[in-house]
Structure 1
């Protein structure tokens, strides 16, 4: 990016500005550069921020606008900078040591699949992403119960994609798929757990888990065990 006419004219009376216009990296040789000098330097070359001891927020923003991935080199980036970075490049959240909750929401805002870039996503993030796309439950390593329930309440078949679903999740899913209420006795819950576990194994081996599920639920109903 080139210097503006205004900057060129101002540099006539400002030797530091003149130095930066000639070589933005030279800002490193200027003691306590003003915010305007910092912004000019990083606007001309975003790498110049590495030469500034304590860059101002405005200079950091210029850098992120030009290259969102430079969030990695900004120490303790503010929430605004984090959000700006991940809004432009969602995977940039992996470069932030401790991303704030708002940045995580910004990451999945337009595309819930971006949750894959978030390490150990919070409960709120999981639920928000699953609400938009229930099938994503299969991609979460350890989905919380709220996320599991959100998935099966929206798409009951999602239960067959959860490796280790909670008992409440299994009960809700089976009731929705079977079309009738189930008394939550220990015996019935153990039976449901066995059915869902087997269905998951059958699905993994590309076998007909749906037919197995249908037959097992029918047996339970006919035997009046539910």
Structure 2
């Protein structure tokens, strides 16, 4: 149905009258205005193929109803490409020259789509392989850096499943205690946690990517903030589940508070390794920051529960407790 403005315009514009009677009449109009193009596409999205150089908004309107119409659009803008890929990442195969941003959007939504991209950039290849090593086989001409990463990912997976008889790492030169050995249950929980963290990170990247296409900066900030809140909520659940299986003595720890404290100390929680979290839960120190700003953090038990403290503060608390005794 035509809009009220289109109907009123048709009273004075014969081109609008023609398009409202038959949308395909748009191909007979020389240089149709954006309003004429939009009216035609609103009546029948297929007529996008009859319009020479349709306006971006007209392309988007047509693709919302008929994504396959991307076939008929020459040199679609990044915004148009993103619209199609968001509706179905597989449609990236319809794009002759998708931008890197659009390639990343497709791979974030479905890593296997790397096989549908004719010339994926190295960054896109790396993302696909990080999500699943097997994607290296779906890339026709992977770069050396991507090949190296694929091999490294395989090694990491193998290391995660080391037998219980393997010796624990020795003390480092700095004198820090070695990492606590993990039993079978802890190792299995670590594999699960690693996979969950990878999935959480992937979802967060996709949501942040989608936020970058927001209409304005304020909306983008709100969507990014919401994505980060959702990520921390999911990380909290994942670490709590890990504690229940691998560190039952810390099952009552307020994981959400620990995550917030880690972030305030400069730790990128989503990039922590399961072994680092395990060590922290087992009472070992965790280094935060860099250079002169480095800080050793430790989980300390207080009457109010477990809290994250700098090592010098923990020592001070211990000395005070001894003095009180």
Are residue 76 (structure 1) and residue 75 (structure 2) matched? Answer: yes
Q: 1:139 maps to what in 2?
A: 138
Count of residue correspondences: 164
Q: 1:39 maps to what in 2?
A: 38
Q: CA deviation at 1:153?
A: 2.9
Query: Residues 150-191 of structure 1: CA distance to partner in whole angstroms, max 9, x if unpaired?
Result: 233333277xxxxxxxxxxxxxx89x98989xxxxxxxxxxx
Q: Which residues in structure 2 correspond to 1:151-190 (within 5 Å)? A: 151-156=150-155
2:15·2:29 contact (CA, 8 Å) conserved in 1? Answer: yes
1:25·1:47 contact (CA, 8 Å) conserved in 2? Answer: no
Q: CA deviation at 1:10?
A: 3.4
Q: 1:96 maps to what in 2?
A: 95
Are residue 108 (structure 1) and residue 107 (structure 2) matched? Answer: yes
Instruction: Please list every run of 5 or more consecutive structure 2 residues that lacks an aligned counterpart in the other structure.
Output: 168-325
Mapped partners of 1:71, 1:103: distance in 2: 14
2:26·2:37 contact (CA, 8 Å) conserved in 1? Answer: yes
Cα RMSD of the aligned pairs, angstroms, is 2.8
TM-score norm. by structure 1 comes to: 0.63
Q: CA deviation at 1:45?
A: 1.0
2:107·2:114 contact (CA, 8 Å) conserved in 1? Answer: yes
Change (3 A) 1:38 1:154: same
Change (3 A) 1:139 1:27: closer
Q: 1:7 maps to what in 2?
A: 6
2:48·2:69 contact (CA, 8 Å) conserved in 1? Answer: no
TM-score norm. by structure 2 comes to: 0.45
Q: 2:217 maps to what in 1?
A: none
1:156·1:177 contact (CA, 8 Å) conserved in 2? Answer: no
Mapped partners of 1:53, 1:145: distance in 2: 42
SS at match of 1:13: coil
Change (3 A) 1:65 1:10: same
Are residue 86 (structure 1) and residue 62 (structure 2) matched? Answer: no
